[in-house]
């Protein structure tokens, strides 16, 4: 019975980590888009959205095979902890970029954020069979996916709400991403 409780708790922590990571990815990406449009003007909206999409997707396309090989060679739990620690650092760089109004820094942050997620993903999916029983594997994967999509929806919603709460102060909104990364 104790083994089942430990199994549930370990999976809960993984799911929570994944949830906050996906929430943060979407929150920061959209905060960045809104901030850049507010600074560069609405006529730059198309270019900002396209460049942001490229900066976010590129790490997944380029580094996913490498991330999978790394997840096969390094203990998945250590890789997950390292990825989560790097998320905190990346969000700090992103907040600093907002504070200093560094457009290049924001794009670098977005790239690094996606790179962190790229290395987190294979470890996340690879560790699930180690955390849950064979009979619970499909259910666990379903829960992981459901909470990921919930985080995407909430991150998207928060990106429109947080700037309103902070009175349009994107620097303060950036600090929210650090808090989420730490959570």
Q: How many CB atoms lie within 10 A of CB 142?
A: 10
The tokens describing 153, both together, are 């929806």
Please compute, for residue 111, the number of CA atoms within 13 A of its CA located in the half-sphere on the CB side. 12
Average pLDDT, the chain: 93
Question: CA-to-CA distance for 21 and 15, rounded, in angstroms?
Answer: 10
Instruction: Tell me what pLDDT residue 17 has.
Output: 94
15-43 mean pLDDT = 95
CA-CA distances (angstroms) from residue 110 to 43, 80, 102, 130?
22, 19, 12, 31
pLDDT digits (tens, 9 = 90+) for 52-70: 999 999 999 999 999 999 9
Q: What is the pLDDT of residues 75-128, one digit of tens each?
A: 999 999 999 999 999 999 999 999 999 999 999 999 999 999 999 999 999 999
Instruction: Pull the structure tokens for residue 77.
Output: 């739990």
Tokens of residue 168, six digits: 């349009």
* pLDDT (0 to 100) of residue 106: 97
Whether the predicted pLDDT of 16 surpasses 80: yes
């Amino acid at each position: 019975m104790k083994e089942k409780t430990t199994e549930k708790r370990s999976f809960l922590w993984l799911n929570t980590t994944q949830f906050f990571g996906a929430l943060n990815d979407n929150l920061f990406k959209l905060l960045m888009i809104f901030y850049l449009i507010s600074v560069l003007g609405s006529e730059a909206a198309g270019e900002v959205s396209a460049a942001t999409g490229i900066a976010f997707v590129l790490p997944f396309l380029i580094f996913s095979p490498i991330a999978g090989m790394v997840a096969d060679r390094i203990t998945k739990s250590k890789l997950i902890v390292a990825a989560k620690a790097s998320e905190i650092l990346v969000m700090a760089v992103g907040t600093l970029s907002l504070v200093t109004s560094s457009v290049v820094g924001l794009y670098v942050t977005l790239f690094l954020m996606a790179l962190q997620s790229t290395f987190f993903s294979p470890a996340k999916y690879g560790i699930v069979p180690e955390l849950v029983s064979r009979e619970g594997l499909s259910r666990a994967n379903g829960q992981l996916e459901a909470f990921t999509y919930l985080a995407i929806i909430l991150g998207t919603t928060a990106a429109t709400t947080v700037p309103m709460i902070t009175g349009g102060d994107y620097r303060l909104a950036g600090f929210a991403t650090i808090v989420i990364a730490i959570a």
